[in-house]
């Protein structure tokens, strides 16, 4: 059992804290957001993450996890300080490290005992050294023994708890091998491969992993766009590719592309780092461009089917960047809605979990109670997020409700032949020829 402080209570910090508590450690999660901490102390989660409330509640009852805004209380007995704060994109795509700096400074100010500082946030290569330098300079009047370890997270929103408890691997990097080994002890009960390397390599493993996953998605989307011109079905192409053990089936789903709080930020940050270090990230630039184009292609399809989109009513199903989360950051749906509104279209939408977030961010958007209200009087319906409840809709009812039966299946969830036989004009992504008759 160890005493762990987690700085930052976003989905990474909260999941990390709750899981370490569930593994038997004593965890104090701290955040500067008083409202968020107050809500956590009332059992109210700041995010929708399946299983998180139950995990937090049971560990609060077990006295293994608590929440505070008080840095001194959070750090006074901590053997490990996990930094799990946001690293949002700056104006040029670089990672904004202001919150990491604040966390390092507080550790320097509040800690007077040996501690291992663990960077859980996704940070540019070299940040571990920078954190170490900040702490060293800031606590020169009361030096205490500390080491910095990089421990990047590989948590997917919507499956973050499972990804923590059943990781493919744990990555640790440090100039102090003993410190990395101490952090490794926290993960031993997970019985997974643990890689111990140096700080910069660990930081790069995180960026390279996310950038590669984003590249796979942009690759299959480029293949999808070729399929539309050559009459092939990208879903079958991906299936045929995936049986090759060197390729695999995951992250080959063509569609509106990737969004979320990580891929867009991390790919941009890696490209920015590359340029800063005198290399030219041609592939990453193309990966981002292909991703942007996937949203624009929705507008092209709708223009092909409806002509001018001015005053046309377009329904959008799904606002979160993927299913099982209420997170709409960089969600493809939002970019599609923005493009449609720029064409003068009237857009209405529904999402099972992200309505609150959308209402706060998109004041003009007409939010409906269910998919059928979205379809009522609509000239087209766009599937943007593949929530389970959108997979088996009552299409006969949708056909009756819609003014024009045009469907854009942005996540290839529906059956083209069945829908075309019902009289819909169906557009998928890479689902065979898209010609002028569609």
Interaction between residue 252 and ligand UDX (CB under 6 A): yes
Instruction: Report d(CA 374, CA 314) in Å as an integer.
Output: 8
Residue among 139 and 213 whose Cβ is closer to ligand UDX? 213
**Contact between 263 and ligand UDX (CB under 6 A)?**
yes
Nearer to ligand UDX, 114 or 240 (CB): 240
Q: Which CB, 173 or 255, lies closer to ligand UDX?
A: 255
Of 24-32, 46-54, 170-178, 246-254: span binding ligand UDX (CB under 6 A): 246-254
* Residues whose CB is less than 8 angstroms from the CB of residue 338 and which lie 6 or more positions away in sequence, other chains included: none
**C-beta of 55 vs 160, nearer to ligand UDX:** 160
- Choice among 5, 19, 139, 262 that is catalytic: 262
**By CB under 6 A, residue 157 contacts ligand UDX:** yes
* Stretch near ligand UDX under the rule CB under 6 A, chosen from 64-72, 111-119, 256-264, 309-317: 256-264
Q: Per CB under 6 A, does 8 bind ligand UDX?
A: no
Binder of ligand UDX out of 6, 28, 29, 262 (CB under 6 A): 262
The angle at the Cα of 329, spanning 374 to 96, to the nearest 5 degrees, equals 165
Work out the angle at residue 59's Cα, subtended by the Cα atoms of residues 56 and 62, and round it to the nearest 5 degrees: 155
* Residues 294 and 332: beta-carbon distance below 8 Å: yes
Selected binder of ligand UDX within 25, 119, 210, 324 (CB under 6 A): 210
Pick the binder of ligand UDX from 213, 290, 299, 349 (CB under 6 A). 213
255 binds ligand UDX, rule: CB under 6 A: yes
Alpha-helical (H) ranges within 42-83 are: 52-61, 71-75
Shorter beta-carbon distance to ligand UDX: residue 234 or 313: 234
155-163, 173-181, 374-382, 399-407 -> range binding ligand UDX (CB under 6 A): 155-163
Determine if 409 is a binding residue for ligand UDX (CB under 6 A): no
DSSP class of 388: G
Q: How far apart are CA 150 and CA 162, in angstroms?
A: 21
Alpha-carbon span 30 to 5, nearest angstrom? 7
Q: How far apart are CB 8 and ligand UDX at their closest, in Å?
A: 15
> What is the 3-state composition of the chain as percent helix, strand, coil, each rounded to the nearest 5?
45, 15, 40
For residue 91, give Cα distances in angstroms to 95, 268, 269, 290, 329: 9, 11, 11, 21, 16
Asked about 262 being catalytic, the answer comes back as yes
Closest CA to 248 of 267, 208, 226, 220: 220
Which residue from 272, 322, 329, 348 is in contact with ligand UDX, where contact means CB under 6 A?
322
What's the sign of the alpha-carbon dihedral 112, 115, 121, 125?
Answer: positive
Q: Which is nearer to ligand UDX, 19 or 106 (CB)?
A: 19
As a whole number of angstroms, the distance between CA 152 and CA 166 comes to 15
Strands 380-383 and 406-409, how do they pair? parallel
For residue 91, give both structure tokens: 């104006």
> Using the rule CB under 6 A, which residue among 71, 80, 146, 154 binds ligand UDX?
154
Q: Are 108 and 135 in contact (CB under 8 A)?
A: yes
CB nearer to ligand UDX: pick between 10 and 371: 10
* Position 264 contacts ligand UDX (CB under 6 A): no
Sign of the CA dihedral 326, 328, 333, 338? positive
| Binding pattern for the stretch 355-394 against ligand UDX, x by CB under 6 A and - elsewhere | ----------------------------------------
Question: Reduced to 3 states, what is the DSSP secondary structure of residue 2?
Answer: coil
Our CB check for ligand UDX shows the closer of 120 and 312 to be 120
Size of residue set near ligand UDX by CB under 6 A: 20
Contact at 8 Å (CB) between 334 and 361?
yes
Q: Does 257 bind ligand UDX (CB under 6 A)?
A: yes
* Sole window of 49-57, 133-141, 252-260, 273-281 interacting with ligand UDX (rule: CB under 6 A): 252-260
DSSP-derived secondary structure letter, 125 = T
Interacting residues with ligand UDX (CB under 6 A):
153-157, 210, 213, 217, 251-253, 255, 257-260, 262-263, 321-322
Catalytic residue positions, numbered = 262
């Amino acid at each position: 059992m160890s005493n762990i402080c987690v700085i930052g209570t976003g989905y990474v910090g909260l999941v990390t804290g709750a899981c370490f508590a569930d593994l038997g450690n004593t965890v104090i999660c701290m955040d500067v957001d008083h409202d968020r901490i107050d809500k956590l102390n009332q059992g109210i989660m700041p995010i929708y993450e399946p299983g998180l409330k139950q995990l937090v509640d049971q560990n609060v009852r077990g006295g293994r996890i608590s929440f505070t805004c008080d840095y001194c209380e959070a750090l006074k007995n901590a053997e490990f300080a996990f930094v799990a704060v946001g690293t949002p994109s700056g104006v040029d795509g670089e990672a904004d490290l202001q919150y990491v700096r604040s966390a390092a400074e507080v550790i320097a100010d509040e800690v007077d005992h040996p501690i291992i500082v663990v960077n859980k946030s996704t940070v540019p290569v070299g940040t571990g050294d920078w954190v170490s330098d900040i702490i060293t300079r800031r606590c020169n009047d009361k030096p205490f023994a500390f080491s910095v370890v990089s421990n990047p997270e590989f948590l997917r929103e919507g499956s973050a708890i499972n990804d923590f408890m059943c990781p493919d691997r744990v990555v640790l990097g440090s100039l102090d091998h003993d410190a990395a080994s101490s952090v490794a002890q926290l993960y031993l009960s997970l019985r997974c491969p643990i890689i111990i390397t140096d700080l910069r390599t660990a930081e790069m493993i995180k960026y390279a992993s996310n950038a590669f996953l984003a590249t796979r998605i942009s690759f299959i989307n480029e293949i999808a766009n070729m399929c539309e011109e050559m009459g092939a079905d990208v879903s079958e192409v991906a299936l045929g590719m995936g049986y090759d053990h060197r390729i695999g089936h995951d992250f080959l789903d063509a569609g509106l592309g990737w969004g979320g709080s990580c891929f867009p930020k991390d790919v941009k940050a890696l490209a920015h780092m590359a340029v800063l270090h005198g290399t030219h990230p041609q592939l990453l630039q193309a990966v981002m461009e292909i991703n942007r184009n996937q949203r624009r292609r929705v507008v092209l399809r709708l223009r092909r089917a409806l002509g001018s989109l001015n005053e046309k009513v377009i329904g959008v199903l799904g606002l979160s960047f993927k299913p099982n989360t209420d997170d709409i950051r960089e969600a493809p749906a939002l970019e599609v809605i923005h493009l449609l509104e720029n064409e003068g279209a009237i857009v209405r939408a529904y999402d099972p979990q992200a309505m609150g977030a959308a209402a706060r961010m998109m004041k003009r958007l007409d939010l409906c109670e269910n998919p059928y209200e979205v379809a009522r009087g609509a000239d087209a319906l766009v599937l943007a997020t593949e929530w389970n409840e959108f997979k088996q809709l009552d299409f006969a009812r949708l056909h009756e409700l819609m003014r024009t039966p045009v469907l854009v299946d942005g996540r290839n969830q529906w059956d083209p032949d069945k829908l075309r036989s019902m009289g819909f004009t169906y557009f998928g992504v890479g689902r065979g020829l898209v010609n002028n008759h569609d």
